[in-house]
Structure 1
Amino acid sequence: MLIGSENYRESITAEGCLSRHRAVLMLLERLYGSPQGLAGERVYLAEALSGFARRLQQWLPDVVLSEYLEGATESFSDGVRHEDLCALSFADAAFDLVITNELFEHVHSLDAALGEIARVLKPGGRMICTFPFAYGQHEQIRKAVRHPDDGRVELLAELELHGDPIRPQQGSMVYQVSGWSILDQARTLGFTWACMHAIASWKHGVLGGEIPVIFVMEAER
């Protein structure tokens, strides 16, 4: 196990998984008994190149993985499936579980992304996700907006970039940091309920950054 920084949420790496990844795994264990308890469920993970993706694929060989391949004209590139979270290619009610890690801050329309995830979930299906969370406020923090008429991106605050496995030299722009309003947002976009779990475990190396917990959102279709 390696500790890469004082922000334990984004470090404490073991077998390619970060502290926040293990928080998701702990929630899966609570809900399904173990990740292997998802066998027989149709699962979509909106990442393909991370240690977490490799770990989940070991347990669930049929899990559907993808990355956002900007400018892609085909469904696959070099064996990696391309999906835009704001316009998924899957049929309605295709999955029992959708997992996203650190993606909601990067989508140009969080409404579209939440609506699409709700659409591809079966009734009673779950969404589990992590994202940078403004836990001290209700409203989201807007960083940038993309105008739908011409695709122009307007910065509303200082440009913020996060690491991107597809474009490591370029990074991925942050459009928003969600506050507690994301729970109401999910409920208005197709989910019957939504909640936020605060998860921490010294034993399992699940620790936060500014606060000791890691927030993981769960919502049901």
Structure 2
Amino acid sequence: MEEFKLEKLSKKLPLAAGINGKDEYFNSAVLVLLMLINGEYHFVFEKRAASIRQAGEFCFPGGKFDSEKDKSFQETAIRETVEELGITADQIKVIGPLDTVIATIGTTVDAFLGILDVEDVEDLRINFSEVERIFTVPVSHFENNEPEVYQVVLEVHPSHLNQAGEEVVTFPAKQLGLPERYHKQWGNVKSNIFVYKVGDATIWGITARLIRDVVRKIKEI
């Protein structure tokens, strides 16, 4: 490679490292939302409406990144929160970004810590087509209660069966001349699943992971 090409290449490199292949994922963003209630900060949670993706699950407000509407993932998180909670953007104060979560289901979640400036959750005009209900839990509850930890086993499959029961090869490892161990499923990697139980709510997965991250940061202060 010529020296001038190397110099041009250096200008193409990002100022901060990103996620290789992020555009191949379902990209979303959420606000890990805090609200001051009686002098104590609470996390603000949603229960997702029955008619939408991942119905009935508990989560933070947020949604899919839309390149036509959003200039950044932070804009996505704010836009979705405004739509879901029926508030205005100036009622949200973003404290800063959290680490991006890369989920094994093919999703990335860019998360931001924010403060909700409302007097009472009853003041929210919830979008019931997306949100069944809103509730809050004191941050101290999670500081005093560690999550339960479970594991799922992940495998890579170079083929699958279609509806007719026929094998569909999506990665022809044998024809590519790769070692025999890649001709069938491989991996068998264990991945942690964090779970918090709060009343009748089971908060797990990405949401629980984000809670755990924030609480760990608080304890480091």
TM-score (norm 1): 0.20
Greater Rg by CA: 2
Q: Could you say which structure has the higher strand fraction? A: 2
